[in-house]
Chains A and B, each alone.
Chain A
Amino acid sequence: VDIVPAEESAPTIAELNLDNSFAENVCAPLLRDAQNSDGGWGFHPGANSRVEPTCWALKALMSLLAPGTLDGDAIRRGCNFLIAAQLPDGSWPSTPQEKTGCWVTSLACWVLEGKSEGQKKYSEAIATGLSWVCGDWPRDSGWWQRTLRRLSSGKQHAKHNDSARGWGWTPGTSSWVEPTAFALLALETQQGQKLPSAQKRRRLGEALLYDRMCPGGGWNCGNPEVYGVAGEPLVIPTAWALLALRKYPERRENIESIAWMEKNFSAIQAPGSHALAGVCLAAYGRKGIALTPSASDLHAKNESLRSIPVAAWMTLAAGHPQNWLASGKHS
């Protein structure tokens, strides 16, 4: 594992003006109206509350929060939904009926961190959640699976470095790019940095992301090469991986990947990818990106805004990543 930290100076945050008025006038009202009576959000307005869309909606509303706004109550109710959904082992399930936690645990911890200051119930929920995250090792790179692979005479179809270990979508499975990126963002929070076991997990997780980068830059779900054929990068995994690794802006892999994102930005045809790509470019201080098509153009074309995560990402894209990406506090 060879991780070389970048210089101390954080990357410049550029203001990209990603359709601010559209986010404020269309996306944010949609999020506010879609909150369920239990405090959570579904994937669509009117759908049953789930942990993932609740996290994205909260993150978006927190990024907009100004003193004295009504969103404070919505955020409090949303956070309480998350607290109620937490399982006894500290994890969060993807859906309230489920009794096993999964990748959304990282999202919940990351989001609640924004409310944790001076709030003991949130701090405790985050602490148990992050402990669960640190103890959730992927199965594919465990001792037994590695031994089985060594003993197997068959050729490995996908080239992976087994010493790098990230996180899976669900417990007992393989490491993948997005859940690893979310876990790294959660462990980057103030509470995450205090955990003794977090440092090793962060180092291994970062190594996993670099190992799974596609040749030439960018990430897909986590298959950079299968049967000798290079995988094609995708926008959303690339955005989250770059955001999770943004403290290494000078690394070759980051430079290649951000170049891939810049090159492909104007060809993005869907608002979710468009928003996250914009966030990513802003976090790396990229300016002067041609914003065509605009978020509102894409919305008009795709009729997309019934998706709560997409509306939330578009809201986040309209603000400054520094306001919500790190362990920002929202009282």
Chain B
Amino acid sequence: LSTNTRNRTLIPSFQRPASRVMIRRAASYEQELGTLIYESLVEFALPVKDKVVLLKPNLVGLDPLGIMNTHPAVIAATRESFLRLGASQVLIGDGPAMDRDTEAILESVRLREFVGPLARIFVDLNIDEIERVPLATKASRLKELYMPKTILGADLVVSMPKLKTHHWAGVTLSLKNMFGVVPGSCYGWPKNVLHWAGIDNAILDINAAVRPDFAIVDGIIGMEGNGPIQGTPRASGVLVLGDDPVAVDATSCRVMGLIPERVKYLAYAGTMLGHVKSDKIQQVGETVPAVRLRFAVVREFSGLSDAA
């Protein structure tokens, strides 16, 4: 067993107890999400009292229509829920990959309208103070990465992706979302060094180094096809939550009608970071069949579909 920079121990999956993943129905962003998310978090009894929580949404680009980024209503409701649970501070942080003008992205998604003034809440992870982190897992060619100190110093990191397919990785969920913690000020816009290191393996290395503690997938409106930016919006009406991000991603794949064991990085992640197999995931809330859809994927990933 080894311990990462945030003092999270890496436990091989065969030694881990079964994970719990919750699926909640949420028809729209206009509905009352605060109570729904608060009640869901209570179920997981997270140790957040007096802790610093960092929410890591997926903010990939200018999005006035609200189709590619984690919706601000979900971010705001989650922030309120963690404060209600006793967190001392709930920060929001991301390092957008394609556009260095994070302010412009925040404006386009209207985050201030939902969360209020951002100066003391939002951290642009692209230009945060950094620390060199050795990569113990060495899944990719990268031996080390610089990471934002805000991420490394948070007591609880919550990955909050959008439910999307991805043209290079198959799907982009809570694990792929962690690409956003790698600082653009070191690696550029996009963080191309991660692509050259192998996207799948870089996802594993980053997640092993950061170890997000919780995941909340915004699947109220997802994106199918040529995601993560140019895909087609797909109303899916769900939130998927859990304290094993690998299991949350596996369940989210099943909700999209995709087989998680066929997503390369998820299959690997299932050996060391969490559970992918359905018999190791205790599903609570809605069942997968009750909310399952069939998301379109680009041709290269047609083999992921459970209809293939």
Q: Are A174 and B103 in contact (CB under 8 A)?
A: no
Interchain CA distance A235-B119 in the complex, whole Å:
23
Interchain CA distance A179-B106 in the complex, whole Å:
24
* Cβ–Cβ < 8 Å partners of A173 in chain B: 192-193, 195-196
B150 smallest CB distance to A (angstroms): 12
Nearest B residue (CB) for A222: B190
Q: Are A235 and B101 in contact (CB under 8 A)?
A: yes
Nearest A residue (CB) for B120: A303
Additional pairs, 18, CB under 8 Å, beyond known A43-B127, A176-B190, A271-B103: A43-B185, A52-B185, A97-B132, A102-B186, A157-B167, A220-B99, A221-B98, A227-B230, A229-B230, A234-B62, A236-B101, A269-B107, A270-B107, A273-B104, A302-B103, A302-B106, A307-B103, A307-B127
Q: Are B127 and A170 in contact (CB under 8 A)?
A: no
Determine whether B100 belongs to the interface, using a CB cutoff of 8 Å to chain A.
yes
Determine whether B38 belongs to the interface, using a CB cutoff of 8 Å to chain A.
no
Determine whether B34 belongs to the interface, using a CB cutoff of 8 Å to chain A.
no
- Interface majority SS on A: helix, strand, loop or mixed? loop
Contact mask for chain B residues 95-122; partner A; CB cutoff 8 A; 1 contact, 0 none: 0001111011011100000000111000
Q: Are A227 and B167 in contact (CB under 8 A)?
A: yes
Interchain CA distance A306-B122 in the complex, whole Å:
12
Nearest A residue (CB) for B128: A43
Q: How large is the interface on A (under 10, 10 to 19, 20 to 34, 35 or more residues)?
A: 35 or more
* Cβ–Cβ < 8 Å partners of A329 in chain B: none
Q: Can you list 15 A-B pairs, Cβ within 8 angstroms, ordered by A?
A: A95-B130, A97-B132, A98-B146, A103-B188, A169-B191, A170-B193, A173-B196, A174-B195, A221-B98, A226-B226, A227-B226, A232-B62, A270-B103, A270-B104, A307-B124
Q: Are B186 and A94 in contact (CB under 8 A)?
A: yes
Determine whether B306 belongs to the interface, using a CB cutoff of 8 Å to chain A.
no
Nearest B residue (CB) for A158: B167
Known: A227-B226, A303-B118, A303-B119. A272 touches B186 (CB 8 A): no
Nearest B residue (CB) for A170: B193
Contact mask for chain B residues 187-201; partner A; CB cutoff 8 A; 1 contact, 0 none: 111111101100000
